[in-house]
Amino acid sequence: MNYADRTKVVEAIAHHDSLRSSYFWSGDNGDAQARSRWEGYLSRDVEVEVAGHAYRYEASVQISRTKVYYRGRFSKNGVIGTVRLFKGLLR
């Protein structure tokens, strides 16, 4: 795996770890336009190809006035797995 791909994998794991298990109360999140900007900022889509296999991390963040919802999905060749898929690439 090259340096750029390794960096993407490390950043995806860090992003997931910072938001995982998120269903939390966040207070007032301002107006709808500000919430929409934060959703775009926090959502991610990372794709890496290693040894002929396609790895993908999709992070979806939805922010309402009182709650923040996070959903992270890891997959290898389209088969959904856990964060272990990406952590295994770092070994």
76-79: which pairs have CB atoms within 8 A and are 24 or more residues apart?
Answer: 77/53, 78/54
Tell me the backbone φ, ψ of residue 31, rounded to 5 degrees: -80, 170
User: What are the pLDDT digits (tens) for 35-63?
Assistant: 888 889 999 999 999 999 999 999 998 88
CA 52, CA 5: separation in Å to the nearest integer?
13
pLDDT of residue 20: 83
Residue keyed to tokens 């996070």: 70
User: What are the pLDDT digits (tens) for 1-39?
Assistant: 899 999 999 999 999 998 887 665 555 667 888 888 888
- Give the 3-state secondary structure of residue 70: strand
Higher-pLDDT residue of 73, 69: 73
Domain ranges within the chain, ordered by starting residue: 3-89
Q: Residue 61 has what DSSP assignment? A: E
